A and B are shown apart, each in its own frame.
Chain A
């Protein structure tokens, strides 16, 4: 399975600021995804990160709020912009490897907005 590193693992952020989360994979992957898990809830897909092009966003999520980059096959970033307390969540990076049908997850980034 792929080894996925996410940074930061945890942060406390001020309202109105932005934070960028990094996701690094130890091998080339076909697909990279960003999920949000609000407190006590299940996981919801924010977007699929596409290499070299704009991410594909799910309904309810927009690029201005959650800009995503994927400059190569092993790295992606998610920015949470102009944060409010409602953005307090765990944000998880996940990947699908070149071979195989399983999707693996990073350790998650736990953001608290105060």
Chain B
């Protein structure tokens, strides 16, 4: 079974600075999808960024980018120019293209933005 590990329970960063959240995963599949979701205090899960394993190029969405290292099974999220609205829980998730196609989540990282 696939597992996802986020080793940083909490992170903090100064407003306008850059922060990187770590995520590693374990799988025997060669094709899969990886996601970062953000959960603000409103509790809704918001998709931040998505990466397909077959793509070598790292995904980018405005201030958010990933460092996808397939061989190392690592999928970190970089947030540039951090804003107060970025404060939230961040969850890394894995999805197989086969079978149930459910999301497997990491434990989450709570990100605090210091003004």
Q: Tell me the A residues contacting B by CB distance below 8 Å.
A: 1, 31, 33, 37, 41-45, 48, 56, 90, 92, 94, 96, 101-108, 110
Chain A-chain B contacts (Cβ-Cβ < 8 Å), number: 50
A92 contacts which chain B residues (CB < 8 A)?
45
List 28 A–B pairs whose Cβ atoms lie within 8 Å, in order of A's numbering. A1-B47, A33-B102, A37-B43, A41-B107, A42-B106, A42-B107, A43-B45, A43-B105, A44-B105, A45-B103, A56-B100, A90-B43, A92-B45, A101-B50, A101-B95, A101-B97, A102-B47, A102-B50, A103-B35, A103-B103, A104-B47, A105-B37, A105-B45, A105-B46, A106-B44, A108-B43, A108-B45, A110-B43
Select the residue from B42, B43, B91 with max chain A CB neighbours within 10 A: B43
Taking a contact as CB atoms under 8 Å apart, the answer to whether B43 and A107 are in contact is: yes
Q: Which residues in B have their C-beta under 8 angstroms from that of A42?
A: 91, 105-108
**B: number of interface residues (CB 8 Å):** 22
Bound Cα distance from A92 to B42, whole angstroms: 13
CA distance A102 to B50 in the complex (A): 8
Is B42 in contact with A107, judged by CB distance below 8 angstroms? yes
Given contacts A94-B103, A96-B101, contact A101 B52 (CB under 8 A): yes
Give 14 new A-B contacts, CB below 8 A, not counting A101-B33, A102-B47, A105-B45: A1-B47, A33-B102, A37-B43, A41-B107, A42-B107, A42-B108, A44-B105, A45-B102, A56-B100, A101-B97, A102-B50, A104-B47, A105-B37, A108-B45
Q: Which residues of B contact A (CB under 8 A)?
A: 33, 35, 37, 42-47, 50, 52, 91, 95, 97, 100-103, 105-108
From residue B75, how far is it (CB to closest CB) to chain A in Å? 15
In angstroms, how far is the closest chain A Cβ from the Cβ of B16?
29
Decide: A107 and B47 in contact? CB cutoff 8 A: no
**Max chain A CB contacts within 10 Å: which of B33, B35, B100, B106?**
B100
Q: How far is the CA of A106 from the CA of B47 in the complex (A)?
A: 12
Which A residues lie within 8 Å of B44 (CB)?
105-108
